[in-house]
Chains A and B, each alone.
Chain A
Amino acid sequence: MRMKKTTAARIFWAGAGTCMISSGLYYTGLIPFPVCAALLVVAFPVTVLALFFWWMAGQSGGDIPFIGY
């Protein structure tokens, strides 16, 4: 199984978006602190790993050797 650079980028933006939206909702008082923290706890690790995948991947090959070697 291989992961494309664009897929890694999409996962990163989805994770980062979740982090920003949950923080924004907490800031505006729409969700309580525990809910915001729970969303960040789930989204932050995914965002970090997806970011690493995204910037590690080269443009030329298209695919990142991900799983299967």
Chain B
Amino acid sequence: MTYLSSGTDMIAELVLATLFGLLLLGIHRKLIARIQRRPGPPIWQEILHMLKFSFKTTWVPITASPTLFVGVVLIAIGIWSAAFYVLVSGGSLLVILGIYMLHKIVEHGFGLSSGSPYGKYGGVRSVISAASEIPLFVSVAVIAVFTHSLDLSSIMQYQQVSGPLLVTAFPAACAMFLVILSKMPFGPFSIVEAKELVSGYKTEHFGIWRAGLEVCNGLKTYVLLAVFLTVFIGPLTLPWLLAGMIVLIVLLAFSCAITPMMSPFDSVTIQMMVTGLMLVYAAVVLVVVHP
């Protein structure tokens, strides 16, 4: 997985990662539907969505801040493009963590820029759901304790010698799985897109803006799943990486399909409980495993 792309590949990889990420979201949606005994859309529906929105009439609402309304779409695609290149170059996990946090601010910007109350509430919930990032901090700390590094390339080297972190740091993998689950649509922690908020922070972003947001979602899904596999399984060839991502999306779809969407309060409470458990685990790792 860790390699520096050749020049022409850099663009092709970015585009293919976006399309594969959208395909994964389509598989996710289809599986949820089948588990709930509905036919569901075809798995390429998210790709069709992106194309469909790109042909829709587009404008900026009169209540919106035009610069922020348009700029936030560019930033959303830009930050996940950056995360993708950090991933393929085996860069720092901290940078990807930073981009993940930046995405919360971008979601908030999406909501605030439109001037719509639904968008604003979606943006506010996005900030509340930052509680899901705290297990990620502990998870990253545990990885650092084991590997003595936060560079993806070093983490992969460690796993080549010592075996996958999925085995040696299983609770950390569970915590990171929970973090990814909180970013998946139709999940128990998807409070930013709850039905009572119409479409949450993206309610007013339609047409080309929504198509841009779909591009961002595809890239984000690809990067988050690839980071999970890189950090907890180790270096993988491209076919195994893609297969692993499909397995992960199946697990996520089952988690989303069999759990109802929680209220914001319950969502934050559960995530804080997980954080507490992870802190206990981190203390055990520090005191017992690596004193």
Interface residues of A (CB under 8 A from B): 19-20, 23-28, 33, 36-37, 40-42, 44-46, 48-49, 52-53, 55-56, 64-69
Interface of B toward A, CB cutoff 8 Å: 4, 6-8, 10-11, 14, 54-62, 66, 70, 73-78, 81-82, 85, 89, 207-208, 211-212, 215
Partner of A41, one of B82, B212, B215: B82
Q: Is the interface of B mostly helix, strand, loop or mixed?
A: helix
Other CB < 8 Å A-B pairs besides A41-B85, A45-B75, A65-B57, 18 of them?
A26-B10, A27-B7, A33-B85, A37-B85, A37-B89, A40-B85, A45-B74, A45-B76, A45-B212, A48-B212, A49-B208, A52-B54, A52-B208, A55-B54, A65-B59, A66-B59, A66-B60, A67-B60
- A64→B59 CA distance, assembly (Å): 9
Whether A52 contacts B59 by the Cβ 8 Å rule is no
29 A–B contacts, CB within 8 A, in A order: A19-B11, A23-B7, A24-B8, A25-B7, A26-B7, A27-B6, A36-B7, A36-B10, A40-B11, A41-B78, A41-B85, A44-B81, A45-B73, A45-B212, A46-B74, A48-B212, A48-B215, A49-B77, A52-B54, A53-B208, A55-B54, A56-B56, A56-B208, A64-B58, A65-B58, A67-B59, A67-B60, A68-B60, A69-B62
Which of the residues A28, A46, A53, A68 comes within 8 Å of B7, measured between beta carbons? A28
Docked-complex contact A33 and B212, CB < 8 angstroms: no
A residues in contact with B75, CB < 8 Å: 45
Partner among A25, A26, A52, A56 whose Cβ is within 8 Å of the Cβ of B212:
A52
Contact A37-B10, Cβ < 8 Å, known A52-B54, A67-B60: yes
CB neighbours of A41 from chain B (8 A)? 78, 81-82, 85
Q: How far does the alpha carbon of A20 sit from the alpha carbon of B11 in the complex, in Å?
A: 8
Contacts of B89 in A (CB 8 A): 33, 37
Contact pick for A44, options B66, B77, B211, CB 8 Å: B77
Q: CA of A55 to CA of B10 in the docked complex: distance in angstroms? A: 24
Closest 7 CB pairs of A and B: A27-B7, A45-B77, A37-B85, A23-B7, A52-B54, A69-B59, A45-B74
- Give A42 to B56 CA distance when docked, in angstroms: 25
Report if A56-B55 is in contact (Cβ < 8 Å); known contacts: A40-B81, A49-B74. yes
Q: In the bound complex, what is the Cα–Cα distance between A18 and B211 (angstroms)?
A: 22
